[in-house]
Structure 1
Amino acid sequence: MSGSAEAHHRHRDVTGGWLRPSVFGAMDGLVSNFALIAGVAGGTANTKVIALGGVAGLAAGALSMAGGEYVSVASQRELAQAEIAVERRELARHPEDELAELAQTFVDKGVAPDLAAEVARQISRDPEHALEVHSRAELGVAPGDLPSPVVAAVSSFLSFGLGALLPLLPYLFGAEHLGWSAGVSGVALFAAGALVSAVTARSWWYSGLRQLLVGVVAAGVTFGVGNLVGMTGL
């Protein structure tokens, strides 16, 4: 019965997981390195200098993203673990109070008091199960479902590196004009935005154009800055 009830629809993962750092990393790598390359190209026609700037931007950005994600997710995980430990101690020291609290949680969701008390009592038979239910209800997380800082860091590093590599590729293959990098970047920006629409409610063309516009504006501004600096000789 329960299986057939769920057969008519499925939900996508909305909790983030690996998707958020991967998507953010790829988008950031593509936009930031395209903008960086455009800025350097605005100030000099030396393709070796432009390529060097792109390589440095890729390396620095990927490492920065990975380090930032690791520290951020590790801090979030440690905070959640500390609060889960508090909940574990409370379950051990004040089981009756925690039982009443859990029952009240079900009552607040519309369950009849007697039934809520019985459900809470049955859940509390297993201390680990009770801890998971309490943690989800009070903290929004479960002990065995915490994000991995290593996964977040690696996902960010690889995705940023891939995104940052695309606008750099034409110069690595001998391109002498920014137009080649702009073309590759424009296609990649639109494709990346369209791909993201697969996990959102937006149409593929809207997401693609939106991402393309963000990249074009960023590159246009930095190109202008680089051109201004190049003309003034700073």
Structure 2
Amino acid sequence: MTEGTGASAEHHHQHRDVTGGWLRPAVFGAMDGLVSNFALIAGIAGGQASQKVVLLAGLAGLAAGAFSMAAGEYISVASQSELAEAEIEVERLELARHPRAEERELAEVYEARGVDPETAAEVARQLSRNPEGALEIHAREELGVAPGELPSPLLAAGSSFLSFAIGAVLPVLPYLLGATSLWPAAVIAGAGLFAAGALVSRVTTRAWWFGGLRQFAFGAAAAAITYGVGALIGTNGA
């Protein structure tokens, strides 16, 4: 009996990061760059363009996409952070002007979670002794954020720029090294898509091969469609 209790007490388990952490935005940016730029290159190559034109299109797509991603991510994160900061300031003023009401509000939060009223009131009273600590708890409970832990717009923009550029440069590499056909770029892009999809499986319950094949299929479909459009327009233009 004692051994069973001891074994139970020693039992531990860990959960994976269900929010995706850094992995989700990094892999998403890389896949976005890889799919969009390979599809762009495929469309240009389908129109029977020269190696120089395909290379120029690939480099232009890389630069335009990376800067667009960075700018969009910066504005999005900055706007979200500014809104959160404004709401946190509202909460700070409420704590200063109506401390009793805010204390009772916090107690009601714990009551709603199943804590008995007396215990909830005592917990709220003790937590409210420290204004900054109380502000953090109120912000977490009511806004889902905490002062000092808001995401950095510059870091988000830089990460998006870098991850998109890494993905977008892969299909361009063969042309930089002198390739004159689409096949080397297709092989590298396909391998990159499969690897990125397999990596995403780390934050899902899917098997790595399923994630890899799924991403490969979507990327291949996008490239095939743009190649067909490029071939059609190029042929008609000729």
TM-score range (shorter-chain normalised) is over 0.9
2:94 is paired with a residue whose SS is helix
Task: Provide the identity percentage.
Answer: 68
* CA displacement 1:168-201 (0-9 Å, x = unmatched): 1111111111111101111110011001111222
Partner in structure 2 of residue 221 of structure 1: 225
Q: Is the 8 A contact 1:51 1:171 kept in 2?
A: yes
Partner in structure 1 of residue 159 of structure 2: 155
C-alpha separation in 1, matches of 2:115 and 2:133: 20
Partner in structure 1 of residue 42 of structure 2: 38
Per-residue deviation at 1:151?
A: 1.1
C-alpha separation in 1, matches of 2:224 and 2:10: 49
Q: Is the 8 A contact 1:42 1:223 kept in 2?
A: yes
C-alpha separation in 1, matches of 2:10 and 2:168: 41
Q: Is the 8 A contact 1:62 1:156 kept in 2?
A: yes
In structure 2, stretches of 5+ residues that fail to align are: 1-7
Partner in structure 2 of residue 80 of structure 1: 84
Q: What TM-score results when the alignment is normalised by the length of structure 2?
A: 0.93
Amino acid corresponding to residue 226 of structure 1 in structure 2 = G
C-alpha separation in 2, matches of 1:56 and 1:6: 57
After alignment, is 63-72 or 193-202 more displaced? 193-202
C-alpha separation in 2, matches of 1:201 and 1:21: 18
Q: Is the 8 A contact 2:23 2:200 kept in 1?
A: no
* CA displacement 1:52-73 (0-9 Å, x = unmatched): 0000000000000000000000
* Runs of 4+, deviation exceeding 4 Å: 4-7
| Paired residues for 1:161-180 under 5 Å | 161-180=165-184
Q: Is the 8 A contact 2:193 2:219 kept in 1?
A: yes
Q: What TM-score results when the alignment is normalised by the length of structure 1?
A: 0.95
Per-residue deviation at 1:17?
A: 4.7
Per-residue deviation at 1:46?
A: 0.5
After alignment, is 34-43 or 200-209 more displaced? 200-209
1:130 aligns with 2:139: no
| Paired residues for 1:80-159 under 5 Å | 80-159=84-163
2:149 is paired with a residue whose SS is coil
Partner in structure 2 of residue 209 of structure 1: 213
In structure 1, stretches of 5+ residues that fail to align are: none
1:24 aligns with 2:16: no
Structure 1's 5 and 208: CA in aligned 2 closer, same or farther, altered over 3 A? Answer: farther
Amino acid corresponding to residue 142 of structure 1 in structure 2 = A
Task: Count residues in correspondence.
Answer: 231
Amino acid corresponding to residue 30 of structure 1 in structure 2 = L
After alignment, is 46-55 or 12-21 more displaced? 12-21
* CA displacement 1:131-189 (0-9 Å, x = unmatched): 01000100011112111111111110000000000011111111111111101111110
Per-residue deviation at 1:16?
A: 4.8
Amino acid corresponding to residue 12 of structure 1 in structure 2 = R
C-alpha separation in 1, matches of 2:27 and 2:35: 12
**CA-based RMSD:** 1.6
